[in-house]
Chains A and B, each alone.
Chain A
Amino acid sequence: MSASTHGYSVRRFTPERGAWSKLMARDSVVRRLDWVLLLTALALSAIGGALVYSATRNRTELNQGDPYYFLVRHALNTGIGLLLAIGTIWLGHRTLRGAVPVLYGLSVILVLAVLTPLGSTINGAHAWIVIGGGFSLQPGEFAKITIILGMAMLLAARVDAGDRLNPDHRTVVQALGLAALPIAIVLLMPDLGSVMVMAMIVLAVLLASGASNRWIAGLILTAVVGALLVWQLHVLDQYQIDRFAAFANPALDPAGVGYNTNQARIAIGSGGLTGKGLFHGTQTTGQFVPEQQTDFVFTVAGEELGFLGAGLIIVLLGVVLWRACRIARDTTELYGTVVAAGIIAWFAFQSFENIGMTLGIMPVAGLPLPFVSYGGSSMFAVWIAIGLLQSIRVQRPVSA
């Protein structure tokens, strides 16, 4: 309250400054941004561009004869993502807090639309809306954000208002209900990878909100029982079960899923310490690994850049998560903490699942690697998340 009044008065009574000096002023938004986070995320997207280019430059059946087709679009996606992040910072996460019901409603409608004839199946997941002109939308990616924002709004409302120390049971139930709707729809698609990520987001959000231990334990139990039920009630298609089992035992299905995981492992394993050099990966050039510009983009890094390059990606992801953790810790209001925790869980689990499946320690699930993989929806969503993190940092009450 006092901060905004203070800010207003300062602006009012100081002599006019040039735009540049305004931007570079000590108290300006630009100076207060977490530049490490921003540049690290940008570096990941840039590396992603190189890897996507390497994976697609010879794939005439995909790139329509233009070797730069995917690279240009990747850069474009990153640029749009960056603009979305700036827009998010400009709006501020608190403004967005007010818009959450609208955003939530919009994302649920979009997710629902996938189940209508508008939706399309890509790689076995009925998770897409094809817009036309070569563009398609994956509403599940945006649902991750609205779940985080919606749950955070509900859980933090009374705490931030100073009414309670921790969210009460009623609020937790409301928050869970809010998350359950889009998750259930995504499960029906079925897009198991996204469901897993969303479940992790819900868990992290509840943890950070200070909800009682019983809720946390109950949620984990529900997840385990739910997984067992899904398995037993044949909600899953056979291909999904195969995919799941083949990561542990590629020989189970050597021509299908096992082939993919095996080829991914060969690609990464053959990279060695320094890799075969960008554009020199035989596995990549030979297209032995499927979906190499999207879900399996990490194999390009493993093969062509080696342990050093692929390790660098993991380190950079670590830096992003470290900065996010700092932001979660440093903000004074619970709303920001909860939002940041949700984003951390999202980035961390999605990265772990994505890289883990290429390394053969996680089952294959159609999830992109944040910032690195080619794909508009995912790229936009993670950059909006970066915008949210920056906004939480920028708008945290400056010590008066």
Chain B
Amino acid sequence: MKPTIRKATTQVNQNEGLIFEKSSAGKAAWKLPPLDVPEVDAAKLLGEAERKDLGNMPEVSEIEIIRHFTRLSTWNYAIDLGMYPLGSCTMKYNPRVNEAVARVEGIANGHPYQPEKISQGALYIIKTLSEQLIEITGMDAITLQPAAGAHGEMTGLLMVRAYHQSKGNARKKILIPDSAHGTNPATAAMVNYAVENLKSDSRGMVDIAALASQMNEDVAALMLTNPNTLGVFEQDIHKIADILHAKGGLLYMDGANMNALVGKVRPGDFGVDVMHLNLHKTFSTPHGGGGPGSGPVAIKKGLEPFLPTPVLTTKSDGTLAFDYNRPQSVGRVRAFYGNFGMFVRALAYIQANGPNGLRQTTEDAVLNANYIRKGLIGSYDLPYATPSMHEVVFSDKLQLKKGVRTMDIAKRLIDYGFHPYTTAFPLIVPGALMIEPTESESKEEMDLFIDAMKSIAEEVEEDPQTVLTAPHSTRVSRLDETAAARKPVLRWKPTS
């Protein structure tokens, strides 16, 4: 068969080496004006610590730098080029209004060492975002400090530990479902809790009977993602919270999938005590390429004394200030008050959408995932029939008969002009294809995606070799990931 690839075509793009290889001595992209202050004798000031040899730095002209990075950028796939269906990652569009607001001079040029008196605008942004995230989650208080999701998890669990400690027993274990994000058990281990695995039932949800039998006074918290990594809403969430609370445990929610809940249900209303949000997922700030991320942690009243320091407060004269006098705090978790530029963008997103707009994004995210589910059922195996929320998980069971695995299908998808979906996760689905379109995608783009996936399923039946050796239209063919992991080459060295 001849595949119909509608979205992608061939295009000349330029080869480009490493910037170090372009270097020639004496070239520069800068010229400094004459010194207008007294010269400092670095040797006198620093003694032996003075560094004269800056090592092997590339010396190139300005246009070479510009061309270098522009050429590299043409090799990229990006959300601004097309659908980025990485399940669990929520690769949604980053609206330009966020960027416009973040570039307003007073915001972009603010400095964290400015006195509070002239930082009231920035503090007001922090206050407003905090209040709106509290309203969205139904929680009582929040810190915006953590730099990303896993950092938020760690901050949350430190507060869980401090809470239990204040009651006289820090407890020993964290329960984690087998469908969890890998960061959950890693976080629990980082804060010195033992991890106990909780099996999922046939619906792909927490097994209530197992939870009841594993829950005791040694358990500090359950870390739950809701909707979970199968894209399934934990329908027994109230029961789960009751089982934990009855034995004095706390319910931690990984809010990575909050994209499916905003404006519809609030974790604070279904029994969650601590949760983190990912501004770089749910609230449309840049994701990938270093973001940077932002992982606020929202909590219930009982945990408030343990919030990281500082905490934003309103003084008696109505001005805003940071309160550092927090004797029970788990301490500071991030320089200054976190990734402020992301707060601006997230706030812009929330306010541009408004309550009804946010509700609509949630509905569209769920609708889009179900549109893809409906479109691909029959072509791919659906291991859990439970209704999908914002993402859908298929398996490669049907394609495995021809020796084709999820990774092969993902590589072939590149030839069709799409970024691959998430492969081999969640771990409870062998050979998983995890697809999350987000609300950003139009029906037209999703139709192209569904056609591509169906076409690949046909190729697997008629010409599996094409899929097994994909990608074919990229600059480099399939990379040897195993060799790269076993024998990594981590830096460039001059050949001379």
* Pair from one complex: no
Chain A residues within 8 Å of B, Cβ to Cβ: none
Chain B residues within 8 Å of A, Cβ to Cβ: none
